[in-house]
Chain A
């Protein structure tokens, strides 16, 4: 009973969405299914970007508005390395490593000196994102870059009911699921993961029990930033890399963590699915009002559950 009462809005919303889904399937089955799959692959990308963002926020209370820049820089560096070595997998690794290194430098070189000063940290990340965007424009110009992934993942795969669907997008979906499970296992079972979870709950206590908190912070920031760079190469392969992508993915991570709940990796997954699917359905069914779907979801969550669907009140 309490479940029905406490989640009544979820039931109502679910019923409306289910009714719309039935209408969508009856109306045009293929469009509906392809849009759903597209939405899920976009959600996979959003999850990769937003999980790093939410991890960093949960532990460090640092709203890293340069997260989109890490995505874009990771993508550019990955592209350069990919061109040099000719291997897409090396490019992915390079994107991850470069962004992780940037994150490490930021945490050790800048944010450590402003611990607990949320607003100043956030403004510093804004300044850094402006600089990063301009430097990237300086070096790589305004062109659109495309990756050259191995041929076995560039074709299409025939799926039941849906028909042909880009293999790469399926690989992306699978990658995000693997990364998500890996992240969960890392947080749940490893020693560092336990330290990070303890730090999310109570930083002072973690520090008092003899853990080198600065080390944990640096590791978290590196992983979070690295995930953004990883997503940059992976997402840049699915779409393309161009100036302006940084703000797009920053907006995506912001909305995903606002909807899902700050500091919760599961919340980031849920938020990413909601936003990714809503965005694709918006594009397919109401092209010029697509962003309104995203916005309405965010406004509803803020109105009825300000801490996010899976967030905890701090």
Chain B
């Protein structure tokens, strides 16, 4: 980020803090009551107007497409492709948030999601009644997300003590340790078998296990997570987090606590991954050590990197590509060789397009604009760059 952008960003966050901090002060004098009543309304009007100006055709088209999708696609495509991609995308979104905006590449996001899944299976209803406690679903889901958030906070607290490349090692070690624990332990985790028949509940007369209801459930949380991350990265906390990513020492000098911001980012990502984990365990109907094994820890990274770490939408694009490959690699190449395909694809992306598919999209757009004598290429690429991971960018493309 350049110095000018920085100043802008910092001013933005200052304004945000003054605004939220100044409101209660303005509300106390009684003579200013009419003024305070109109101020939030005006504010809402302005932000709605600003929101409106940000909506482009592509947003409308994508939203309409994902809403209409289950009515035109077969149940297989709705459930196996659509819902799975949304659940995996949500978990990958938590990694995109951590890595793209916090600069912390955590490989333990699937572990966090798996912890949420295990809590759902252990406290809720499963095919192993000797262990499962059979608590009501709403309590179980709340506890699962809370437990995932706590676990993520703990992982974050352990790993933010070191920086950069250590993070990936420590989180990988924690994730693998959890896998071996789940595999060895029969008293709590039911060992190698795990838990079967972990299904979504029937609420409001709707069986949420059906392809279409489950798709909409996953879609709701995916959209909620996406817009939450979009909001958070422009909120003061998100701006400060990006500051910590780019220059922790300078942020400390400005009075921010880099450690607190990083741990908080882990907690937020943990909550997102927890929701994704609950969805994923319901989607699969089971959870076993294999669901949190090394290959899945890495698959989440692959999904996030294939899509591109620079923007929250990348995780969902990556998830769609991954799920499509997983289901249809059998037609292209021997089913057994799926890992080879995904590994090669990942390697190609890492070697030739560090920004993932979004990077290719940008390149295509830049090329097209150059061909047509482009107008707004400079401004747009600047906006992209403000949310990049510095290390994944190729050298000399500042």
Contact = CB atoms under 8 A, between A and B. Distances in A.
A127 B177 contact: no
Given A251-B176, A299-B158, A123 B350 contact: yes
B187 A288 contact: yes
A164 to B, nearest CB: 28
B162 A119 contact: no
Contacts of B395: 116-117
Contacts, number: 119
B131 interface: no
B161 A303 contact: yes
Interface in B307-363: 336-337, 339-340, 342-344, 346-347, 350-351, 354
A288 B301 contact: no
A294 interface: yes
B350 A120 contact: yes
Interface string A118-131: 11101110111011
B72 interface: no
A120 B391 contact: yes
B273 interface: no
A135 B185 CA distance: 31
A65 B297 CA distance: 13
B343 A294 contact: no
Contact of A63 (B168, B180, B391): B168
Contacts of A269: none
B389 A126 contact: no
A134 interface: yes
B383 to A, nearest CB: 23
B170 A258 contact: yes
B343 A127 contact: yes
Interface of A: 61, 63, 65, 110, 116-120, 122-124, 126-128, 130-131, 133-135, 137-138, 247, 250-251, 254-255, 257-258, 262, 287-292, 294-295, 298-299, 302-303, 306-307
19 contacts: A117-B395, A118-B164, A118-B391, A119-B391, A123-B346, A130-B342, A133-B339, A134-B337, A134-B339, A134-B343, A138-B337, A247-B176, A254-B176, A255-B177, A288-B184, A288-B186, A290-B184, A302-B161, A302-B170
Given A122-B168, A137-B336, A255-B173, 10 more contacts: A119-B105, A119-B165, A122-B165, A127-B347, A128-B347, A131-B344, A134-B339, A254-B169, A289-B184, A298-B177
